[in-house]
């Protein structure tokens, strides 16, 4: 049955991001594909434990109970085969996750199915698949092993870095190539010129669309911008979001301070950043998605 994509948020997730497949993957790496298939089939009635992105998926799907209609969908995009994927689907049923659609590609990248499924955000543990998604203009992030939010308040809290994630990397390139002073001068001179959108602009816009069904006080979704920028480079950020008509609930301009403690205080269910150093530190406190996009990820 086909559904209308309008105002819908669709997230694609790999089986290794959703469930803990570390032991299963060891079998694949040490003994090969045939042994892995036999291992999964023999255990297909044993539910897999939650993976690092499981709490995020649980909260995303729970939003549907508070929305006018089912406006959030999670789709499984897996390198498993249909045979080995049966354990994953049985685990979905065991954990009572409302996930109905899936693509099992038997070892091939599931990238080709992101567009036909109209996926707004792709989460995977495979950086190659994520890079393909980003290169094609889709929001995507490599999920790092880490821990979920400690605050169990039922509210979905998502934090984003700014440059090369929500915004393009045009300003970050100036910083990388010419230094902080040149970056600051550029941002002051271009303060009233909105930045171009980055790979996560459309995903942030979709979240904003969900938030529009609630008052700010009652919204089950809360967003935060957590950026190394500081004044006076903050003004261009504020004016850019205003020009997009997108609300950010909290904005933290840290001026280069480490982000991890601030993310824990915010209670992020997940944080997206383009720089590996920030991601590795953040993953000790919150679930983190590395966005391998922009100048910081060019070899």
Catalytic residues: 161
Which distant-in-sequence residues (6+ apart) come within 8 Å of 256 by Cβ? 228, 230
Question: Residue 151 and residue 174: Cα distance in Å, rounded?
Answer: 37
Separation of alpha carbons 16 and 56, rounded Å? 14
**Non-local CB neighbours of 255 within 8 Å, separated by 6+ positions:** 228, 229, 230
User: Is-contact 83 41, C-beta < 8 A?
Assistant: yes
Rounded to whole angstroms, what are the CA distances from 10 to 175, 270, 298?
Answer: 34, 16, 28
Q: How far apart are alpha carbons 176 and 3 in whole angstroms? A: 44
Strand partners, 104: 78
Burial group, residue 156, by CB count within 10 angstroms (0-12, 13-18, 19+): buried
Outline where 95-233 has alpha helix (H): 127-135, 170-178, 180-189, 201-211
CA atoms of 268 and 151, how far apart (whole Å): 8
* Phi, psi torsion values for 288, nearest 5 degrees: -135, 140
Distances in Å between the alpha carbon of 20 and those of 127, 130, 167, 189, 250?
Answer: 17, 19, 32, 48, 32
Is the separation of the CB atoms in 149 and 195 below 8 Å?
no
C-alpha separations of 164 from 22, 174, 219 in Å:
30, 12, 27
């Amino acid at each position: 049955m086909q559904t209308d994509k309008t105002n819908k948020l669709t997230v694609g997730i790999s089986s290794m991001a959703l469930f803990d497949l570390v032991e299963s993957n060891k079998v694949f790496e040490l003994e090969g594909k045939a042994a892995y298939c036999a291992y999964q089939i023999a255990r297909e009635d044993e539910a897999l434990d939650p993976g690092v992105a499981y709490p995020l998926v649980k909260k995303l799907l729970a939003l549907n109970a508070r929305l006018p209609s089912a406006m959030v969908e999670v789709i499984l995009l897996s390198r498993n085969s249909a045979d080995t994927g049966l354990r994953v689907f049985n685990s979905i049923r065991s954990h009572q996750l409302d996930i109905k659609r899936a693509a099992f590609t038997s070892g091939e990248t599931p990238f080709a199915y992101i567009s036909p499924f109209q996926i707004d955000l792709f989460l995977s543990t495979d950086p190659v698949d994520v890079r393909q998604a980003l290169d094609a203009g889709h929001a995507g992030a490599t999920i790092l092993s880490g821990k979920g939010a400690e605050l169990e308040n039922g509210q979905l809290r998502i934090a984003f870095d700014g440059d090369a994630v929500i915004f393009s990397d045009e300003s970050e390139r100036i910083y990388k190539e010419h230094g902080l002073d040149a970056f600051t001068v550029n941002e002051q001179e271009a303060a009233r010129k909105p930045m171009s959108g980055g790979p996560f602009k459309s995903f942030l816009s979709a979240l904003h669309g969900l938030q529009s069904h609630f008052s700010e006080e009652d919204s089950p979704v809360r967003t935060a911008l957590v950026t190394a920028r500081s004044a006076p480079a903050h003004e261009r950020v504020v004016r850019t979001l205003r020009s997009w008509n997108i609300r950010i609930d909290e904005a933290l301009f840290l001026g280069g301070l480490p982000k991890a403690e601030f993310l824990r205080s915010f209670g992020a269910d997940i944080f997206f950043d383009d720089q590996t150093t920030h991601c590795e530190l953040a993953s000790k406190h919150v679930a983190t998605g590395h966005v391998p996009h922009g100048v910081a990820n060019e070899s």
